[in-house]
């Protein structure tokens, strides 16, 4: 772990963390034996911070991301996105919150091949029926550097460009938090570095909050906090606890 890492800012200026999890537990039933993927995780992710979540395969990283992002319900424990506590929300409220407050970036980009770059970026807005904030969108497109490719299809772009489009799409709604699962896993070293510089600059310049799962120490070095999971628990954390 990089000893030069800065301690995380845990809370937003108004005292509300962008994301908070309390005693988060996820047990998968159904197999021969129940699997405890998360065993009571407590953590707060301050507004404007960039956290890398690391740990060996099977340590619970994806499960933490999925439950914190409201894609999966925990077995017990609670999750807040800003001041919304997810277990209090109905499925439709949760879907709305995911669409408006949360951005996702995945290893496999997950762009829609039949849509243009511009249509991909504005898809979350159309799905939520939200009127686009044209100035913000222009800023996002400019920031990720895909302005010259708006009418192209994803297949016409390089992997790095596709991931930049996915990042623009994740930011289109001005979400409270962006969850990124191995966002550079499919990219070569230089392209990965460019994408990580972009993510970091979005945190530094726009106060965006990013939680990124990665296996890669180099990728983690761009974050201002590194949290390590082992057997569903936090085994190391350069930032503050909840
Ligand atoms: N749907 C599921 N059903 C049963 N067990 C599961 C399920 N999803 C995950 N697990 C188990 O939960 C544990 C944590 O899995 P998780 O995917 O969160 O780990 P991870 O740290 O993200 O791993 P990797 O780095 O390999 O992606 C593992 O033991 C995994 O086998």
What b/e readout covers 73-108, taking b as 16+ CB neighbours within 10 angstroms? Answer: ebbebebbbbeeebeebeeeebeebbbbbbbbbbbe
pLDDT at 163 over 60: yes
Question: CB–CB of 24/199 below 8 Å?
Answer: no
- Burial-class residue 134 by CB neighbours within 10 Å (0-12, 13-18, 19+): exposed
pLDDT at 147 over 80: yes
pLDDT at 237 over 90: yes
Q: For 19-237, which CATH superfamily applies? A: P-loop containing nucleotide triphosphate hydrolases (3.40.50.300)
Given ligand 1 and candidates 29, 39, 63, which is best to mutate, with the most ligand atoms within 8 Å of its CB? 63
Model pLDDT for residues 82-132, shown as the tens digit of each residue: 999 999 999 999 999 999 999 999 988 899 999 999 999 999 899 888 888
Distance 210 CA to ligand 1 centre (A): 21
Q: What's the pLDDT score for residue 70?
A: 93
Which pLDDT belongs to residue 242?
42
User: Tens digits of per-residue pLDDT, 27-76?
Assistant: 999 888 999 999 999 999 999 999 999 999 999 999 999 999 999 999 99
- Split at pLDDT 50, 70, 90, the class of 241 is very low
User: Taking 80 as the threshold, does the pLDDT of residue 240 lie above it?
Assistant: no
Distance CA 212, CA 83 (A): 21
CB 214 within 8 A of CB 207: no
Structure tokens at 121: 């970026």
For residue 197, pLDDT beyond 90: yes
User: How much is the pLDDT for 12?
Assistant: 44
Q: What number is the ipTM of this complex?
A: 0.97
* Distance (Å) from CA 237 to ligand 1 centroid: 21
Domain ranges of the chain: 19-237
User: What is the rounded average pLDDT for all residues in the chain?
Assistant: 90
């Amino acid at each position: 772990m990089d000893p030069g890492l800065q301690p995380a800012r845990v809370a937003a200026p108004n005292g509300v963390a962008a994301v908070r999890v309390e005693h988060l537990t996820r047990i998968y039933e159904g197999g021969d034996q129940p699997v405890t993927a998360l065993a009571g995780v407590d953590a707060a992710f301050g507004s404007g911070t960039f956290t890398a979540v690391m740990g060996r395969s099977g340590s619970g990283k994806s499960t933490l991301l999925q439950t914190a992002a409201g894609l999966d319900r925990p077995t017990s424990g609670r999750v807040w996105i800003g001041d919304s506590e997810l277990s209090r929300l109905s499925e439709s409220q949760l879907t709305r919150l995911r669409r408006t407050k949360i951005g996702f970036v995945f290893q496999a980009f997950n762009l829609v091949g039949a849509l243009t770059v511009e249509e991909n970026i504005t898809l979350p807005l159309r799905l939520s029926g939200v009127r686009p904030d044209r100035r913000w969108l222009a800023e996002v497109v400019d920031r990720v550097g895909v302005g010259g490719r708006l009418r192209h299809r994803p297949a016409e772009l390089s992997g790095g460009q596709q991931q930049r489009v996915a990042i623009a799409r994740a930011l289109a709604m001005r979400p409270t938090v962006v969850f990124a699962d191995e966002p550079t896993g499919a990219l070569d070293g230089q392209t990965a570095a460019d994408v990580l510089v972009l993510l970091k600059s979005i945190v530094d310049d726009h106060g965006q909050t990013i939680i990124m799962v990665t296996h890669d120490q180099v990728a983690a070095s761009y974050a201002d906090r590194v949290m390590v999971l082992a057997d569903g628990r936090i085994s190391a954390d350069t930032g503050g606890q909840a």
